[in-house]
Amino acid sequence: MVKLFATVQRNKDDTTTAATMTDKLYTVGLSAPVGQGSVLAGYAHTRRSGSLVGADRDRNTLSVGYDYLLSKRTDLYTIAMSDKINTASRAASFGLGLRHKF
């Protein structure tokens, strides 16, 4: 019943100058049915490098949430996220939403 997700992504930005920037992103996540909805969790690691940004930067993001089904087409969701960039302090955010599918 648990669904696992994973992605690997690489972006390269070549500007018209000699400056470059590359992002490498790895993510893993899961969705597990609990009660009338699903528990959601995810982790992402991003490494940004290149002459455009100077020193390499790492970013780690952890998200945990719950998606509650109100009906077949409407759900209420909430998510909490902790985010850390190696050049800054840890930050947290919280989201709450209502979605209706037409």
Q: What are the extents of the domains in the chain?
A: 3-100
State the CATH architecture for 3-100: 2-Layer Sandwich (3.30)
Candidates 61, 66, 58; CA nearest to 28 is 61
Candidates 39, 36, 58; CA nearest to 47 is 58
Distance CA 1, CA 51 (A): 45
As a whole-number percent, the residues of the chain with pLDDT over 70 amount to: 95
Q: In this structure, how many other beta carbons lie within 10 angstroms of the beta carbon of residue 48?
A: 20
Q: 87 pairs with which residues across the strands?
A: none
Q: What is the mean pLDDT of the chain?
A: 91
As a whole-number percent, the residues of the chain with pLDDT over 90 amount to: 70
DSSP structure class, residue 86: T
